[in-house]
Amino acid sequence: MSFDSLGLNADILRAVAEQGYREPTPIQRQAIPVVLAGRDLLASAQTGTGKTAGFTLPLLQRLSEKPAARGRRPVRALILTPTRELAAQVGENVREYSQYLNMRSLVVFGGVSINPQMMKLRGGVDVLVATPGRLLDLAHQNAVDLSQVEILVLDEADRMLDMGFIHDIRRVLAKLPAKRQNLLFSATFSDEIKTLAEKLLTNPEQVEVARRNTASEQVSQQVHFVDKKRKRELLSLMIGRDNWQQVLVFTRTKHGANHLAEQLNKDGITAAAIHGNKSQGARTRALADFKSGSIRVLVATDIAARGLDIEELPHVVNYELPNVAEDYVHRIGRTGRAAATGAALSLVCVDEHKLLRDIERLLKREIPRIALEGFEPDPSIKAEPIQNGRQQQSRGQGQGRGQGRGQSGSGARPQGGSGQRPQGGSGARPQGEARRQGGNGQAAPAANSGRRRPAVKKSGNV
């Protein structure tokens, strides 16, 4: 099936062809006709499925069918995303797909100055991509009029709820006209999502695409047992010996990320750290340098890595295992996408044996072991409790407005102290992504996303 048969106009098809897309993905095949028909849509699709084009292409077409009003253009389509990163990516897509249309789009999110956003809104915008917090800030300052919105998209609605945005979403909904088309995308369908969908959608068409293969099926995984003190040496050796050129390394803590990046640089391996204490500018730079190949290693904490959009990443290293087994799957999900195969290596010290067992229980299989001669663990070293990093949390933490707003409403705020966890697989993307830096030339940072989990401690150092 080709894009031509979906009913999209020539200007949109041209933009799509320029992206190199040859045929629509399953979500696009299903969603595009529904949206073009003006129906509400409840779509189950993860990042990586092509969902963004699935709603953006028909949305642009519908808007372009009705000419924009003269004078200042009101916002006619509003796309809400949970994170700056996603907002930036969606905004970039909108720009690309609408390049041959007479359509203005804008991305607004927190962490950057609000004034330029206000100025651009004043000039008139047809399609607004926004994180909820910043959108409300703009609305409170009367910088945005949402009363003419014809199409609303809630992208990654499950993450929005996880991040505590429900109240913000309600506030935004209250500013929209009652008559509009609503599109809700979510990777998962909890009761909360169903409740939201029931309230939001009118007689929706439901579309669903299969979950992507889990990373664990596509990624070659290995474990190397090694003493904590010798991890850096082993990592440097493997990077050098096997000539790894692009390696995403995970640590549990921000301090650990900084320290490791410094050490790798001393070893002659170019590296930078990316975590919640880094400024937006520093994160943007580190990510751009990593994507362009001017640094080989990006050392990241789980939360900072959450929104990283890196094409076909060949190597992921768990320098420290995550405290939460699911995070392992998210980490290695950053490699081995689509046609690419990836390799995930975990360096496991004696303290982490229990974490490894938890991960293997989750994967329902043992990860193959490798051992480089000379790096065998010293059997006399006893396990010590792991003090740092994200710990499991009680239900409800990280779910308040403050948490959610922080995502879009503050600058380089420390991330992750709230026990929010990455979720969903927005990791490396299948194609056409390496050049992406996010909207307005800003690479947005990783997202915090909360998810309920049992018990224990809070930690602010990831």
Task: Give me the residues that bind ligand AMP (CB under 6 A), please.
Answer: 21, 24-25, 28, 47-53, 429-433
The distance of closest approach from Cβ of residue 436 to ligand AMP in the complex, given in angstroms and rounded to an integer, is 8
Question: Residue 307 or 398: which CB sits closer to ligand AMP?
Answer: 307
DSSP 210-278: PPPPPHHHHEEEEEEE--GGGHHHHHHHHHHHTT---EEEE-SSHHHHHHHHHHHHHTT--EEEE-TTS
Separation between Cα atoms, residue 149 and residue 153, nearest integer Å: 11
Long-range (24+ apart) CB contacts under 8 A made by 233-237 are 233/375, 234/347, 234/372, 234/375, 235/264, 235/317, 235/319, 235/347, 236/263, 236/264, 236/267, 236/269, 237/372
Separation between Cα atoms, residue 274 and residue 445, nearest integer Å: 9
Separation between Cα atoms, residue 403 and residue 378, nearest integer Å: 43
Question: Residue 25 or 449: which CB sits closer to ligand AMP?
Answer: 25
How far, CA to CA in Å, does 23 sit from each of 17, 58, 247? 9, 15, 31
Separation between Cα atoms, residue 146 and residue 374, nearest integer Å: 64
Question: Residue 13 or 68: which CB sits closer to ligand AMP?
Answer: 13
The distance of closest approach from Cβ of residue 197 to ligand AMP in the complex, given in angstroms and rounded to an integer, is 20
Residues 6 or more apart whose CB falls under 8 angstroms from that of 371 comprise 224, 225
Do residues 342 and 274 lie in contact, with contact meaning Cβ atoms separated by under 8 Å? no
The distance of closest approach from Cβ of residue 338 to ligand AMP in the complex, given in angstroms and rounded to an integer, is 9
Question: Residue 53 or 264: which CB sits closer to ligand AMP?
Answer: 53
Question: Residue 54 or 416: which CB sits closer to ligand AMP?
Answer: 54
The distance of closest approach from Cβ of residue 187 to ligand AMP in the complex, given in angstroms and rounded to an integer, is 10
317: helix, coil or strand? strand
- Closest by CA position to 154, among listed 90, 85, 68: 90
The distance of closest approach from Cβ of residue 405 to ligand AMP in the complex, given in angstroms and rounded to an integer, is 24
Question: Residue 52 or 407: which CB sits closer to ligand AMP?
Answer: 52
The distance of closest approach from Cβ of residue 422 to ligand AMP in the complex, given in angstroms and rounded to an integer, is 16
Question: Residue 262 or 433: which CB sits closer to ligand AMP?
Answer: 433
- Structure-block tokens of residue 119: 């100025």
- Structure-block tokens of residue 328: 């392992």
Question: Residue 28 or 391: which CB sits closer to ligand AMP?
Answer: 28
Separation between Cα atoms, residue 55 and residue 41, nearest integer Å: 9
The distance of closest approach from Cβ of residue 340 to ligand AMP in the complex, given in angstroms and rounded to an integer, is 13
The distance of closest approach from Cβ of residue 309 to ligand AMP in the complex, given in angstroms and rounded to an integer, is 8
